Amino acid sequence: MPVAPKFVISPKAPIVLSAGVEFVSPKVPIPALTDRIELRLRRPTTLLPLAWPATAELRVRLIITADGVAHVFQGSASGGIRLSKDGKELPFYVLRASSTWGFFGATEGFPKRLGQGKGLFTAHIEITALSGSVMSEVEVDGDESPAPQVPFHSSVAFDAVTSAQELSGDGVLSLTHTATGADRAAFAGVGIIASNTEQNSTSVSYGGIGMTEMWDTPAVQNTGAAGYRLAAPATGAQTVTSTIQDATPFTHFLGLISMTGVDQTTPVGTPVSATGTDTAPTVTVASVGADDLVVDNLMVGGSLGTVTIGADQTERWSQSEGPNTGEGRGSTQLGTAGGVMSWTLGATPVDAWAIGAVAFKPVAAAAAAGFGPLFAGQRNRHVLSARA
């Protein structure tokens, strides 16, 4: 697999902040095919103690601006020495942003990255001292790659996806997502690596509206996953915020998938979730219709090998804690392929895995087409069988 081209947004630079003071980097033009941006903020360690005490807290923002519209990825980090789950000192706080890709209102063809077709596409960072004084250093870089070339299909259809990840943060992570199209719905997948007693999700909100929790599955050994839904999410750039139980988690993942063609009264079927410690995370969603779209969320703690997706699934987002560590993934599958959502791990995870899935249901054919009962069921006879 070719290595994605890298680019620098902000080279390594010192920052010194007191309470209420904000560091803002210049806006830098970025490639139209920007996929992921990573901000690394050096944490205090025994060898490099830095003037960043545990009581000093920073708000950290990565901001991608496309033709004047800001897409914000935000986390927060308190200071002091922070340990990984295996007891090692963590040298960095990390905020990763995967920019939105999808169909952006189109009902045919293939998806695009957020920056394609935009006249002005930039990125910058904002770091604010919420309390205390901080001395650290920050660097930001990114990579680019084309959006996955999966075709649009009718009935319940994938619209767009955005994802983010925070390492050694404070348990609240947000991103900006834009949903388009008619009969919209949104799915949020949350992944957590935390202490053995605090792997639960607390809430997810979309544009200030609380999403409905469908599962919140803590596994043994640090790992948990949760799934949320919302019918009729607002259009335009909206803030999606995930809050988890642990205020000092090792890793926090958030993936947001929006869809079109979803029934607004009964948007989903019955969700299912599972946990385990083997190499085959799998769940089976029952009563899946041909026009459904099945969506899942996988969290693996301490994976030691590759993560392979099921044959009929399309991966929509992925975030990785780092080599041989945690993995967060999300995928979709056409209802024609059934309700089995499966992944294969290259080796037994050090910790555990947690997975959940649900089928999003299509708008009733008569209501969608505007016809009477005589024509009910005719709308989706031409659904494409290609993976999308």
At 375 the pLDDT is 32
At 129 the pLDDT is 97
Residue 3 has pLDDT above 90, yes or no: no
Residue 366 has pLDDT above 70, yes or no: no
Residue 370 has pLDDT above 70, yes or no: no
What is the rounded CA–CA span in Å between residue 41 and residue 91? 9
Closest CA to 185 of 239, 228, 148, 242: 228
Domain boundaries of the chain, sorted by first residue: 1-144
**DSSP at 310:** -
Please compute the mean of the pLDDT values over residues 358-377 and round it to a whole number: 60
Residue whose tokens read 């990579």: 143
Closest CA to 304 of 287, 288, 284, 326: 326
pLDDT band at 372 (very low <50, low <70, confident <90, very high): very low
**DSSP at 160:** E
Residue 219 has pLDDT above 80, yes or no: no
pTM over 0.75: yes
Taking only the tens place, the pLDDT of each residue in 152-185 is 988 999 999 999 999 999 999 999 999 999 999 9
The answer to whether the beta carbons of residues 115 and 29 sit under 8 Å apart is: no
Residue 9: burial class (beta carbons within 10 Å; 0-12, 13-18, 19+): buried
At 373 the pLDDT is 36
What is the rounded CA–CA span in Å between residue 374 and residue 376? 6
At 347 the pLDDT is 84
pLDDT band at 303 (very low <50, low <70, confident <90, very high): low
Taking only the tens place, the pLDDT of each residue in 197-208 is 778 999 999 999
Residue whose tokens read 């189109």: 106
| Candidate ranges 60-74, 192-206, 359-373; pick with highest mean pLDDT | 60-74
Exposure string of 337-353, with b = 16+ CB inside 10 Å and e = fewer, is bebbbbbebeeebbbbb
Average pLDDT, the chain: 90
pLDDT band at 95 (very low <50, low <70, confident <90, very high): very high
At 194 the pLDDT is 87
At 323 the pLDDT is 54
At 322 the pLDDT is 66
At 368 the pLDDT is 47
What is the rounded CA–CA span in Å between residue 182 and residue 36? 28
Please compute the mean of the pLDDT values over residues 338-360 and round it to a whole number: 92
The answer to whether the beta carbons of residues 316 and 268 sit under 8 Å apart is: no
375 or 330: whose pLDDT is higher?
330
Let me know if domain 1-144 sits in CATH 3.50.50.60. no
In this predicted structure, which of 305-314, 316-325, 342-351 has the lowest mean pLDDT? Answer: 316-325
